[in-house]
Structure 1
């Protein structure tokens, strides 16, 4: 069932954006939050991030001040030099990577700064926290490039 569910997931997700939005708008928050930990775990028994890495190839996390401090130190760069080399300000005033794919993504889909990665990366794809409901536009966008988000939404809608 899960292999079948994930077959052609990008196309299915694109076709179901209105259904997902409607579901998220009317979802029973407590019921959804209760299901998320198990569905999150289940999704990652079927989705291998190292085979995908769509998030790192197409999307940038926000680099918040603590992230910039931690990563700069790790790379032995001054914060200003790190920002100048890797980051830009987006339309929301957040620091994001200058280009896609992420400059820290290796050809093997491993992250070269994984131990000190931004908190957005660590928390992504938010399928085990209330962000999935609270920030519906992010959830909908994520479902178009992350098979785990697609998987969790599909399972939630069937429950």
Structure 2
């Protein structure tokens, strides 16, 4: 099949939501976890985040206390000023950015705080960890806007259907 990511991957991702949901529910966890590191690497050799940045343009990571401390120190701001300037509390009580796209995303899709970015950003899109299986609703949301998640899910389906 080669590289499943093409111009209309988002349509395919939407069309395959039921298949993904079923797969995530029934997957052999240990088998999938063994496959993830290679699939993750393969996905990112085919997907250039700097061409996309959908995650930074449309969604916010959670800013946990260590993230806030680290980033505000880096920006030479008091934590309270950093929070007031950039963050708000969401429905779940987590700090997230006030607006989309992320205020730290440049026009070139580079992150101005990349080395200090929140751990959620560093771990995203979780295609190399058990979050992919443990939080199926998150995976189903992520597959709709992240080509790397789409790539991994398509490859997992393909290998299961062999």
- TM-score > 0.5 by shorter chain: yes
Residue 6 of structure 1 aligns to a residue in which SS?
Answer: coil
Distance 1:75 1:82 in 2: 8
Q: Could you tell which deviates more after superposition, 6-15 or 79-88? A: 6-15
Hey, what does 1:126 align to over in structure 2? Answer: 126
Residue 99 of structure 1 aligns to a residue in which SS?
Answer: coil
1:158 deviates by 1.0
Distance 2:51 2:42 in 1: 17
TM-score, normalising length from structure 2?
Answer: 0.96
Distance 1:81 1:136 in 2: 35
Q: Which runs of 4+ in 1 moved over 4 A?
A: none
Counterpart check, 1:27 vs 2:30: no
1:2 deviates by 3.5
Hey, what does 2:5 align to over in structure 1? Answer: 6
TM-score, normalising length from structure 1?
Answer: 0.98
Q: How many residues align?
A: 158
Hey, what does 1:49 align to over in structure 2? Answer: 49
Instruction: Within 5 Å, give how 1:1-159 maps onto structure 2.
Output: 1-3=1-3, 5-7=4-6, 8-159=8-159
- Larger helix percent: 1
**What value does the CA root-mean-square deviation take over the aligned residues?**
0.7
